[in-house]
Structure 1
Amino acid sequence: MAVREIVAGMPWWVKWIALPVVALVVFGGLIASVVGFVIGLLFKVLILVALVGGLVYAVRKFTSSSSRGGW
């Protein structure tokens, strides 16, 4: 008997409510850790982009002022 045949004989609420809830209970910790990892990674990428952008801005500002005879 295939899984599709077993699920086909069940009521709609088992297919669309009970099975997803059971899957979330079983894999909830894994899903939460993956989502947390992805959000943390995106935050670190955002921080990296901000720092690199600030560094580029500072270097351009410094080099433009020094080329006009600043230091």
Structure 2
Amino acid sequence: MDLKETFAALPWWVKWVAIPLIALFVFGGLIFAVVGFVVKLLFKLLLFVALAGALVYVVRKFTSSGSSSGG
């Protein structure tokens, strides 16, 4: 019997409950680290876009209401 046949012969709870739980136990730290890194990266990217947009808004508001000279 090869691996595919062995896996097919297992009960449903082994395939859909026990094996995923073992995978979470073994790789859980790695999975949560990667997910945490992606979430932090997206948050920092969103924060950067918001701050840069606010800066551009403030600069345009002050330069348009200020003197007409400038580039």
Structure 1 length normalisation: TM-score? Answer: 0.88
Q: Which amino acid aligns with 2:26?
A: V
Change (3 A) 1:67 1:2: farther
Deviations along 1:18-37, one digit per CA (max 9) or x if unpaired, are: 01000110110000000000
Aligned length: 69
Query: How many percent of aligned residue pairs carry the same amino acid?
Result: 64
The 5-angstrom pairing of residues 1-71 of structure 1 reads 1-67=1-67
How much has 1:68 moved relative to structure 2? 5.8
Secondary structure of the residue aligned to 2:25 is helix
**Off by >4 Å, runs of 4+ in structure 1:** none
Q: Which amino acid aligns with 1:32?
A: F
Gaps of 5+ in 1: none
| C-alpha distance in 2 between matches for 1:59 and 1:67 | 13
